[in-house]
Structure 1
């Protein structure tokens, strides 16, 4: 009788746990209630003992470390879009830490710039990491420096980290825009491997500007929709979400306008979860103008209502460090000497928020902040 009661309790907890999420974060993903997860672990163990079966503890998280890497391969992936593929191997010849679809690397370049790139290789390849980088000549300089790397050059890499996790079960629609395909392609490879019900909508300016299209053309074409702005026009929600699965998930990676369309249109579908990742900074929402004083020089810069403090500071301090521009990597953390920040990040702890802010997304609750810059 006791075992049956525990069985019913276990099922109830599992169902409740599956339905409990915290509010969606920057990437559209939720997280399990940690206390409930611990209770579930305890019940798992207790029920396993009663049932005389093996208790399988949850796997430990992947260790994140900084590695000295060497460029082992460099190749052009998409000439029209200036996308280059780079493969890195450890300088000491050892295997790389494991990763899963959706993971990215933090690459520290010789200049000190730190940038993040999605892994687009094969997780079963244990001795190398592969990424693809689109050249943005008028960007922050990171892509230009990445394109200048040659075979034999060394860089420092931290990771892998996963801010865009993929669950290889059920049904899924993948929506990719341009270079956003780098994050999506390992997911689809895995979906095909395990026999998931999946569809892909891949959009770009022209077919010549879309990386990995050669591989995409070898997949089941009844599951693939390729759209180009040149032929089909800019896609709307109906174009991107036509195959959103009933009760399934949507994974989206691409430019901000595409993500905005998907976020607005997802509620009209029967899909239950949306996961997304940006490759550029999100637009500022509900911003108020304020000023920032750079304490080390006394320079005061104005931050417009539709720009970030990072963008404003870079006008006078172009070398200020940053990476994700989305409030999750922590590279642009700055000490606040005066004023009250309006925190919009999902990285800092409560203690850190007392006297620090991430200037890529957070703003000021008043008219001025003084930063330790």
Structure 2
């Protein structure tokens, strides 16, 4: 936003970062085209006639080659007990793709692995991805559901799902993620790369460097490659914010993908409930300079992604650079933040606004241009007075966000008088 009157002036407060933290990337184009058209520097590539992969001429800097060898060693030394890959939150394409990649590695190295999740898959295209690729997911709800496993693997997260207690007997073995952790995870293998936008990018790097490369041995790697490609595509906003490493990973995976499946899962649809929720967000919209906040009321767990959809939609308004949308999902407050301003750090914003729970676990987190939070309602969830509950939720969220955007406190006073 031009001039000094926008949200930019707040960047010295918690939740803001230097604009230089983001890598500039040109407009999205097909990754199978000339990468130079994307402004990618530091790598020259050749795509031979009929080739099934990109042939590197000059390496794109990305992690250390020995990381894949170390992951191989750790998994291969833990084949005595089954592994569980426990997904955090509502499973999204990057987490699903990375989990499939990790399961594939485990199976190639002689370890049994199961992909598990606690919260439901809440987006239509994610459910379509799971159905079309026949992704083997196990829903768990109690600690006893995890007792048969000996090793825990985390992908696209550095801490285990907060809504389930992990048995003490379950050893955290590996962590692979691209989000910046608030606390270093204690696992035998940790690979967290902040310079990529997708966890699937990291697994593609392992494969390209020789750890169970795709297409080797006549194996059908199409389902895993397709899920990973879609994970990268989704987490880079259709490659609009992709780094050089993300583009390289997508180019490596593309020849192994099922083009028809990619086309089908890419058709993003809205349920009637989600569309209604977006409408409620627009009616509830509060704007302070180029920051917007809105509530959607109560939404079902299956349509929880109406909240980030509403944030994405609000961000399209020309005078808004950062949007936060929240609602009630089952027994918690659920919220999403979206931003296109480089000076806003979603992870720091979430931490400054919502902090940690009684056990020191953060209520929220984020990455380059998006973040989210979940706050349990506790006994308030049993309230039969939805109107009163919603006023309490709004007051809670406004007061927390006012830690970063102080002007929101005045808006809360105005709303309270109106109610």
Q: TM-score, normalised by structure 2?
A: 0.24
Structure in which a larger fraction of residues adopt helix: 2
* Higher radius of gyration, 1 or 2: 1
Which structure has the higher relative contact order (CA within 8 Å, separation 6+)?
2
Q: TM-score, normalised by structure 1?
A: 0.26
